[in-house]
Structure 1
């Protein structure tokens, strides 16, 4: 039995950051995202399609945080993935007008976008998200990184700020979201 399923306090220090075959473990990753982000089954289905479409990009990169030695490499307790930003991508076309109004649309060029970063609630606050995002961005050639986060003061936004991300545009509305987002950017390498 794993720490999260046994109800015991997890030992986040045992989490290993490793390359993740996200296509092979997409359902496990989406289960992490659902628990961390509160997704419905319908939202999970939509996200599954999006993740698999993103993975068609040969420059997409994914890392997982795993504990234990179970089937497939252990229990996935967190994951991150991203890819180089392209202005033709859906996300870029949505955020571009907001960034342009704020005078920051040049950030869409030569940036690496963090598409998703999620850690199971029992493992949050132990540095796993920090290790995932810094390890992922340390291996990219772009000089800066972009991401979007719900536009509220949250532990996630606090983490991003400690890494050097700053708000580039706020109150960004995505077509399917009822909550506004902030677009944040940071120079690479991320601050330690």
Structure 2
């Protein structure tokens, strides 16, 4: 049985080696990117209202994690994505999604535990009880299990084929109003409940 354990910034930072092992198993990044990724994660832990969930076996082995924080101007992802949405859809749409948003920065599940509902529980757990109006995140813009999961939880595409500065991969920027929709209920746009 997989249990979720909530952790704050200090505990998350103390467990960064474990976090990176799970990230590496799930994403298989080039080894030279790991030091940079660790620095980014360490920095994220300093952002407002940071929260992390660890998915663990009954023996205490971490098999997944996710974290997020309150998005704010001055945060790289927040500024780049909000500006991109503003350019494509206008200032009002960007404000509706980003002025009061939980930004889910990472959700990763070890490949041995994927397809068992762990990712769904992590996303729901991160969003549960949050005071923000919306939740936003980026994911590869391909028909992946992650894209399907986010749709079933009520996330809608805000932008497709988005390329981050200096990058080349295409991402989808997705968002949902909070609280997340119940199963079977249609997704809502901000202000339309």
- What interval of TM-score do these two structures reach, taking the shorter chain for normalisation? 0.7 to 0.9
- Is the CA contact (8 Å cut-off) linking 1:87 and 1:108 kept in structure 2? no
Corresponding residue number in structure 2 for 1:94: 80
Counterparts of 1:177 and 1:39 in 2: how far apart (Å)?
Answer: 14
Corresponding residue number in structure 1 for 2:5: 18
RMSD: 1.3
Question: Which residue of the other structure, out of 16, 33, 36, is the alignment partner of 1:43?
Answer: 33
Please state how far the C-alpha of 1:58 moved relative to its aligned partner.
4.3
Question: Which residue of the other structure, out of 72, 77, 82, is the alignment partner of 2:68?
Answer: 82
The 1:185–1:58 alpha-carbon spacing in structure 2 relative to 1, beyond 3 Å, is closer
Q: May I ask how many residue pairs the two structures share in their alignment?
A: 175
Moved more, 101-110 or 45-54: 101-110
The 1:162–1:40 alpha-carbon spacing in structure 2 relative to 1, beyond 3 Å, is same
Q: What is the TM-score of this pair, normalised by structure 1?
A: 0.87
Counterparts of 1:35 and 1:159 in 2: how far apart (Å)?
Answer: 19
Corresponding residue number in structure 2 for 1:128: 118
Corresponding residue number in structure 2 for 1:115: 105
- Is the CA contact (8 Å cut-off) linking 1:81 and 1:115 kept in structure 2? yes
Please state how far the C-alpha of 1:190 moved relative to its aligned partner.
1.3
- Is the CA contact (8 Å cut-off) linking 2:47 and 2:70 kept in structure 1? no
> Structure 1 stretches of 5 or more lacking a match?
1-13
Moved more, 75-84 or 134-143: 134-143
Please state how far the C-alpha of 1:85 moved relative to its aligned partner.
1.1
Could you give the per-residue CA deviations for residues 4-37 of structure 1, whole angstroms, max 9, x where no partner exists? xxxxxxxxxx110111321111111111111111
> Structure 2 stretches of 5 or more lacking a match?
184-193
SS in 1 for 2:12: coil
